[in-house]
A and B are shown apart, each in its own frame.
Chain A
């Protein structure tokens, strides 16, 4: 569960996130939408502990992200839009490093790495250095790294960028099945059709302020538009 209370982030005089209050429950697939520079990535970086709030707090399954950041981070995974990976490692070596960081059992993690490499069709490239990978292949490695330690919460920033249609379908299915299994998915995206298709609840922010939150039906009522999410989004922002 993610609890965001009165969250504010300022960059100098600019308010990127303004008094945001949110609660995302276990098993929920939560869409986080907004136009460019609305404060989505800043919120995500606050959620992952990469930025410090100017005001307010974030709790990850009860752990405060500022006070108990190691415990909080143990429970979550982050999939950034432009991932950084160690260029001079192979995918297998990188994933092993992640398993060791999360103190996963050696044999079990080895088995999991094998399974995921196979599942994401990376077998052919497993011994190539990451520096030789395309953007989509890198994204696959980051997604595996996020899933491999079986986190309770997955925070995703633009998950489908660079992925081919087959992998996009695969990732969508993973998110859906994970949320059915009680995992929380917090997903920021500009792909409104994706949010419309898979999210249980959607939140729209603009200029750091929460504009609307609820299921697709609730958003339709609020906006007075009985149409696609795209139309609702354009009206509200």
Chain B
């Protein structure tokens, strides 16, 4: 009965939100729909070409596809757990409606059930969007039976629930067992431990010892054989194995894996609700009873010490930057994502020599360097959307304080932009330097990469900051919710689109050179300069115009 009330609540919220959407510009809605469809179509095409290519490789094609599936679902499973853990913290502990709900005669388990569905959906929708074209392209490239798609759909739901239950359960246990002050350190240590376990489970083989051809060796290295991903105790294994069986029309086995997923999802959900019944309300109460004076002090030492570094921005902008840094530091659930994603890249780049990538022939070395560049840029693109875009929105109902201050909104916008740019440029450029050094690339390619990183930082940070100012959501306090709106989706699509263009334009002259279409180094230099010119032109445009648009919108804002 009470769950029915929550279902009706959702339906009303969704219906009203759609009604509000109808009041907005149709052009805006069609544009975002078109962009989203285009994005999915491109993803489908890339995956389809990749699956068809791999399937066509004699002898090892099916092994590579199989390994890719296990690896993909394993990575997806971990990301879903992580995403659920973070979003659950916001939805079950921080969200203001929990206080309202707990003031009513609702049991801890009832409130949790409702909040779990909410956080599970919030955490999973973006992954679902990525998953659908990937799975459909796999089916089509393998000329699979239609039943495969039914199985894929059946696997989706329990898979998402299991990951959600683990993520939410972990968050709840951590919140219960640890005081908030220690939460940051523990989350960091757990993430580090998971990263180390994965890293340790990667089988490292040197090219000279492998006895393989360079192509097979490279494919093996690009799709590392992570043993954990083949563990039959993992839901990601059941998902991958089930899909592979269904693609081979072994439906009995495929159904067995579905039952495994379903029963585990039911078991996990039941266990989680029982756990919530016992500890959710208590942990919620404890979290809201933390020693306030101690939480208030978090980060004071470190950030105050680096205050003089921001002197160049002027006293007023420095105040704003220091405030933002303190707020960011005091939200461990936010910055751990930052540390983990860039941390994984850092660990990988530092260990490039263990994989013997530096011993590769120039063609493969270039491929590897471009893949590393793409990885840095895609991480930067998603993190700038996740962290930079919501910055103006997160000022929330306090926005009038800076809005009415002599600082002026223009300075606020550009102050935030400069601070974000400085930090992200320093991190990404350092990562790139490590990758270049480990791979042993230098000269023209290195110079191009350094330039591309600079331009991409300007473009991606400017785009996120500008569109974040143009499409603010001052009502939501959850960054994940802010990003999932129109502006956030547009930023993510534009960022990924530009990253693909920038990498393609950068790689083009070097590929022509390696294939002999450009014969001299001087011609390559000229072609590379033209490429850099194109990337710079688009990048600077993507930085300036959204910032100007955001500035204009902020100036016209009433608050």
Check A90–B16 contact: CB distance below 8 A: yes
Q: Which of A50, A87, A90, A97 contacts B475 (CB 8 A)?
A: A87
Task: Give chain A residues whose Cβ lies under 8 Å from the Cβ of B107.
Answer: 70
List the B residue with the shortest CB-CB distance to A85.
B100
Check B100–A12 contact: CB distance below 8 A: no
Indicate whether B233 reaches chain A with its CB closer than 8 angstroms: no
Task: Give chain B residues whose Cβ lies under 8 Å from the Cβ of A48.
Answer: 103
- Mark the stretch among B154-162, B211-219, B282-290, B319-327 that contacts chain A: B282-290
Distance, CA A74 to CA B104, complexed state (A): 7
In the complex, which residues 65-119 of chain A have their Cβ closer than 8 Å to any Cβ of chain B? 69-74, 78, 80, 83-90, 93, 96-98, 100-103
Q: Which of B104, B282, B286 contacts A98 (CB 8 A)?
A: B104
Q: Which of B9, B16, B99, B102 contacts A97 (CB 8 A)?
A: B9
Taking the closest CB of chain B, its distance from the CB of A118, in whole angstroms, is: 22
Check A70–B8 contact: CB distance below 8 A: no
Contact of A84 with B97 at beta-carbon distance under 8 Å, contacts A52-B289, A70-B106 already known: yes
List the A residue with the shortest CB-CB distance to B281.
A69
Indicate whether B515 reaches chain A with its CB closer than 8 angstroms: no
Indicate whether B534 reaches chain A with its CB closer than 8 angstroms: no
Indicate whether A201 reaches chain B with its CB closer than 8 angstroms: no
Contact of A73 with B9 at beta-carbon distance under 8 Å, contacts A11-B289, A11-B291 already known: no
Distance, CA A85 to CA B282, complexed state (A): 23
Candidate in A48, A74, A101 with the most chain B CB atoms within 10 angstroms? A101
Indicate whether B293 reaches chain A with its CB closer than 8 angstroms: yes
Contact of A89 with B285 at beta-carbon distance under 8 Å, contacts A14-B293, A84-B99, A101-B104 already known: no
Indicate whether B128 reaches chain A with its CB closer than 8 angstroms: no
Check B20–A129 contact: CB distance below 8 A: yes
Number of A-B contacts (CB under 8 A): 90
Task: Give chain B residues whose Cβ lies under 8 Å from the Cβ of A40.
Answer: none
Taking the closest CB of chain A, its distance from the CB of B346, in whole angstroms, is: 36
In the complex, which residues 147-184 of chain B have their Cβ closer than 8 Å to any Cβ of chain A? none
List the A residue with the shortest CB-CB distance to B475.
A87
Distance, CA A51 to CA B20, complexed state (A): 36
Indicate whether B2 reaches chain A with its CB closer than 8 angstroms: yes
Check A86–B13 contact: CB distance below 8 A: yes
Cβ contacts A201-231/B at 8 Å (1 or 0 each): 0000000000000000000000000000000
Check A49–B9 contact: CB distance below 8 A: no
List the A residue with the shortest CB-CB distance to B2.
A101
Distance, CA A94 to CA B26, complexed state (A): 29
Check B5–A101 contact: CB distance below 8 A: yes
List the B residue with the shortest CB-CB distance to A100.
B5
Instruction: Please tell me the number of chain A residues within 8 Å of chain B, measured between CB atoms.
Output: 36
In the complex, which residues 13-68 of chain A have their Cβ closer than 8 Å to any Cβ of chain B? 13-14, 48-52
**Which label, helix, strand, loop or mixed, suits the secondary structure of the B interface?**
helix
Task: Give chain A residues whose Cβ lies under 8 Å from the Cβ of B291.
Answer: 11-14
Task: Give chain B residues whose Cβ lies under 8 Å from the Cβ of A80.
Answer: 99, 103
Indicate whether B271 reaches chain A with its CB closer than 8 angstroms: no
Task: Give chain A residues whose Cβ lies under 8 Å from the Cβ of B103.
Answer: 48-50, 73, 78, 80
Check A84–B290 contact: CB distance below 8 A: no
Task: Give chain A residues whose Cβ lies under 8 Å from the Cβ of B16.
Answer: 88-90, 93, 129
Taking the closest CB of chain A, its distance from the CB of B94, in whole angstroms, is: 12
Task: Give chain B residues whose Cβ lies under 8 Å from the Cβ of A50.
Answer: 99, 102-103, 285, 288
Q: Which of A73, A83, A84, A96 contacts B105 (CB 8 A)?
A: A73
Candidate in B1, B105, B292, B294 with the most chain A CB atoms within 10 angstroms? B105
Indicate whether A9 reaches chain B with its CB closer than 8 angstroms: yes
Check B290–A11 contact: CB distance below 8 A: yes
Indicate whether B17 reaches chain A with its CB closer than 8 angstroms: yes
Check A102–B475 contact: CB distance below 8 A: no
Indicate whether B96 reaches chain A with its CB closer than 8 angstroms: yes
Check A51–B96 contact: CB distance below 8 A: no
Indicate whether B520 reaches chain A with its CB closer than 8 angstroms: no
Cβ contacts B79-115/A at 8 Å (1 or 0 each): 0000000000000000011011011111100000000
Check A73–B104 contact: CB distance below 8 A: yes
Check A100–B105 contact: CB distance below 8 A: no
List the B residue with the shortest CB-CB distance to A48.
B103
Distance, CA A200 to CA B76, complexed state (A): 62
Indicate whether B12 reaches chain A with its CB closer than 8 angstroms: yes
Indicate whether B4 reaches chain A with its CB closer than 8 angstroms: yes
Taking the closest CB of chain A, its distance from the CB of B160, in whole angstroms, is: 24
Contact of A88 with B17 at beta-carbon distance under 8 Å, contacts A51-B285, A52-B285, A101-B105 already known: yes
Distance, CA A174 to CA B315, complexed state (A): 53
Distance, CA A131 to CA B16, complexed state (A): 11
Check A88–B13 contact: CB distance below 8 A: yes
Distance, CA A73 to CA B97, complexed state (A): 17
Taking the closest CB of chain B, its distance from the CB of A7, in whole angstroms, is: 14
Check A103–B9 contact: CB distance below 8 A: no
Check A93–B12 contact: CB distance below 8 A: yes
Task: Give chain B residues whose Cβ lies under 8 Å from the Cβ of A87.
Answer: 475
Contact of A89 with B12 at beta-carbon distance under 8 Å, contacts A50-B103, A52-B286, A101-B105 already known: yes
Taking the closest CB of chain A, its distance from the CB of B335, in whole angstroms, is: 24
Distance, CA A70 to CA B475, complexed state (A): 31
Check B12–A51 contact: CB distance below 8 A: no
Candidate in A78, A83, A84, A96 with the most chain B CB atoms within 10 angstroms? A84
Distance, CA A86 to CA B542, complexed state (A): 37
List the A residue with the shortest CB-CB distance to B291.
A12
Distance, CA A11 to CA B289, complexed state (A): 6
Task: Give chain A residues whose Cβ lies under 8 Å from the Cβ of B99.
Answer: 50, 80, 84
Check A71–B105 contact: CB distance below 8 A: yes
Taking the closest CB of chain A, its distance from the CB of B176, in whole angstroms, is: 12
Task: Give chain A residues whose Cβ lies under 8 Å from the Cβ of B12.
Answer: 88-89, 93, 97
Task: Give chain A residues whose Cβ lies under 8 Å from the Cβ of B289.
Answer: 9, 11, 51-52
List the B residue with the shortest CB-CB distance to A49.
B102
Distance, CA A232 to CA B97, complexed state (A): 38
Cβ contacts B1-45/A at 8 Å (1 or 0 each): 110110011001100110010000000000000000000000000
Q: Which of A52, A71, A89 contacts B13 (CB 8 A)?
A: A89
Taking the closest CB of chain B, its distance from the CB of A70, in whole angstroms, is: 5
In the complex, which residues 481-520 of chain B have their Cβ closer than 8 Å to any Cβ of chain A? none
Distance, CA A52 to CA B8, complexed state (A): 31
Task: Give chain B residues whose Cβ lies under 8 Å from the Cβ of A131.
Answer: 475
Task: Give chain B residues whose Cβ lies under 8 Å from the Cβ of A14.
Answer: 291-293
Contact of A11 with B292 at beta-carbon distance under 8 Å, contacts A84-B97, A89-B16, A101-B2 already known: yes
Nearest 3 A-B pairs (CB), nearest first?
A12-B291, A100-B5, A73-B105
- Residue pairs across A and B with Cβ atoms less than 8 A apart, 23 shown, are A12-B290, A12-B291, A14-B291, A52-B282, A69-B105, A69-B281, A70-B106, A72-B105, A73-B106, A74-B105, A83-B100, A84-B97, A85-B100, A86-B13, A86-B97, A88-B20, A89-B16, A96-B8, A97-B8, A97-B9, A98-B104, A100-B4, A101-B5
18 further contact pairs, Cβ within 8 A, besides A12-B291, A51-B289, A89-B16: A12-B292, A14-B292, A14-B293, A50-B99, A52-B282, A52-B289, A70-B105, A71-B105, A72-B105, A80-B103, A84-B97, A85-B100, A86-B13, A93-B9, A97-B9, A100-B1, A100-B2, A129-B16
